[in-house]
């Protein structure tokens, strides 16, 4: 029996369209489309957006499996302890407890952020030799800022700048070893020590727990903040970590046009209008100008 390709994503309703692009790009670049199982951790997706995502199943035969975080006591407990913000809502921490949600028979998964684009067969990543480690990840070239912040002094009691530090947006994970690491226990201990808020969200915590105990992957598996010239390096997965996102109009990023077509033109522009309504119209309403804001939207 062929081993399934289990992929975990965690996103809220606002990122349904980028998540669709992640899943569609994953399916387009492998012959094993029907073996893929997308495990979707979410705190709520509208029925209309679920219908958009269901097109992945119809087009490729892949499976979408939803996990309602609103029904998870583990996620409820985690959300009371971690620090979220506008760019990193609490759902980004859901990956820490995926092992408590997925069936216990699953032994290995790939985790993908919703701002990635897969350009090669994901099955190759799944079979990576982790050399006995719980996970594999790509080194983060922005590790000094992520771990130490200003003057490279913050968190020097927690990290050593000479140690490798990975980006958590693309990971291949041995589930049993991940479970054995007891990440929720680490959250509690770090909270009690008063240092949890100093970490760079879930990535900072994972680098603390797995310091010097992870497999370093080829950087092409997680090409960060990719500008147009990155295409020449032959990346396997693009990770749009910079301010410019491929769902922005005329974004100066690698494979911007391909991204739009993978998302599909119809969904790309529908998502653009959705973001406009969500982010710009409230600004004008707060200024008491509902009529003017509607005119701006219609003319966009």
Beta strands in 142-291 (DSSP E): 166-174, 215-216, 223-224, 237-239
DSSP-assigned beta bridge partners for residue 38? 7, 64
**Nearest by Cα to 144 from 121, 127, 160:** 160
Query: Given this model, what pLDDT does residue 200 score?
Result: 86
3-state SS, residue 35: helix
Every domain of the chain and the residues it spans: 5-263, 265-300
| CATH number corresponding to 5-263 | 3.90.550.10
> What's the CA dihedral at 140, 221, 13, 105 to 10 degrees?
-110
Query: Given this model, what pLDDT does residue 199 score?
Result: 87
pTM of the model: 0.91
Contacts of 296 (CB under 8 A, 6+ apart): 280, 284
* Low-confidence residues of the chain: pLDDT under 70: 1, 83-88, 146, 149-151, 280-300
| CA 86 – CA 260 distance, rounded (Å) | 25
**199 near 190, Cβ under 8 Å?**
yes
Q: In what order do the strands lie in the sheet with 223-224?
A: 116-118, 237-239, 223-224
Side-chain half-sphere of 238: how many Cα atoms within 13 Å? 27
């Amino acid at each position: 029996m062929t081993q399934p390709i289990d992929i975990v994503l965690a996103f809220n309703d606002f990122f349904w369209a980028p998540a669709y692009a992640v899943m569609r790009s994953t399916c387009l670049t492998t012959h094993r489309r029907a073996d893929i199982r997308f495990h979707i951790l979410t705190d709520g997706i509208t029925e209309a957006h679920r219908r958009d995502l269901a097109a992945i199943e119809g087009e490729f035969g892949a499976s979408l499996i939803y996990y309602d975080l609103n029904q998870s006591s583990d996620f409820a407990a985690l959300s009371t302890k971690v620090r979220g913000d506008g760019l990193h809502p609490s759902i980004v921490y859901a990956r820490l407890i995926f092992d408590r949600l997925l069936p216990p028979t699953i032994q290995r998964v790939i985790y993908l952020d919703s701002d990635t684009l897969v350009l090669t067969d994901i099955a190759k990543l799944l079979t990576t030799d982790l050399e006995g480690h719980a996970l594999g990840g790509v080194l983060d070239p922005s590790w000094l800022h992520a771990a130490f912040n200003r003057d490279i002094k913050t968190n020097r009691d927690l990290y050593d700048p000479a140690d490798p530090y990975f980006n958590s947006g693309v990971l291949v994970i041995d589930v049993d070893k991940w479970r054995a690491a007891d990440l929720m226990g680490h959250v509690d201990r770090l909270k009690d020590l008063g240092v949890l808020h100093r970490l760079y969200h879930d990535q900072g915590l994972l680098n603390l727990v797995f310091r010097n105990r992870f497999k370093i992957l080829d950087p092409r598996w997680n090409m960060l903040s990719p500008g147009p010239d990155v295409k020449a390096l032959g990346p396997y997965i693009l990770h749009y970590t910079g301010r410019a996102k491929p769902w922005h109009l005329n974004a100066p990023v690698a494979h911007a046009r391909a991204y739009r077509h993978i998302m599909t033109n119809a969904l790309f522009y529908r998502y653009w209008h959705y973001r406009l309504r969500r982010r710009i119209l409230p600004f004008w309403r707060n200024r008491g100008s509902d009529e003017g804001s509607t005119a701006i939207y219609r003319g966009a």
